Amino acid sequence: MRVLMADDAPFDVVPGEELDESGTDRLYATSDPVLRLNFVATLDGAATGADGLSGSINSAADHRGFAAMRRAADVLLVGAGTVRAEEYGPARTPMVVVSRSGRRPETVRGTDSVVLATTRSSGATEDETTWVCGDAEVDLGAVVERARTAFGPHVLCEGGPSLAADLVTAGLVDELALSWTPHLVGGLRTDHPRILDGAAVDRTLRCRHLLEEDGTLLGLWRLV
């Protein structure tokens, strides 16, 4: 992994330097409370590939960044639609799945490491693996607070685009990690959404680092 820039790195690193796994881990690690979005996109801005999934536009370099961010996180935050579409299973890192309807995806049922965050209107019953946060809509602020209390301060959201847009709109996002892989898919936004799909937002970001490997660019930005 080659460093293109790292003006806000937590250790001394210079452009052109090659990072091993340990160095990449150090770039993404933080002891501060942070909610980080992690997405991959094509060069024409699509968050999914020709098959409608993000996995088909991944690269080996993007996967290494993804793995480093998972190792750094205390808890994952994922929308139920993304869990179903990408066929998530239980991870080593605790996971909170957001679902307004209260339907727990089949692939993450029956495990204590996955919590469902839902609404009162869903009819769900509160217990250790089900959090009722909000009436008709999920109160994302309450979900993030509970996730930090239960698991730790570093929250990593892996999508999807609707949940990410709602988190940004609510002012809950601190950082965006975005990889561009050398793909083009074209098509319509209804078929291939961008990384945010929801209310219009206007936020400024500051680049913390930019890495490159085999044509994949991995960036980390701080919302300011």
Place 89 in a pLDDT band, splitting at 50, 70 and 90.
very high
Q: Does the pLDDT at position 112 exceed 90?
A: no
Q: Which amino acid is at 217?
A: L
Q: What is the per-residue pLDDT across 43-80, written as a single tens digit (0 to 9) for each?
A: 999 999 999 999 999 999 999 999 999 999 999 999 99
Pair 64, 88 in one domain:
no
From the number of C-beta atoms within 10 Å of its C-beta (0-12, 13-18, 19+), residue 74 rates as middle
Q: How many domains does the chain have?
A: 2
Q: If residue 178 lies in a helix (H) or strand (E), which one and from where to where?
A: strand 175-181
Q: Is residue 159 part of a domain?
A: no
Domain residue limits at 111: 79-152
161 belongs to a structural domain: no
Alpha carbon distances (Å) from 111 to 39, 41, 96, 167? 25, 31, 12, 26
Phi, psi values for residue 157, rounded to 5°: -100, 125
- 69 and 83 share a domain? no
| CA–CA distances in Å: residue 186 to residues 51, 110, 192, 221 | 12, 39, 8, 26
* Boundary residue ending a domain (106, 123, 152): 152
Give 90's pLDDT tier (boundaries 50, 70, 90). confident
- Tell me the CATH number at 218: 3.40.430.10
Q: Is 164 domain-assigned?
A: no
Structural domain includes residue 106:
yes
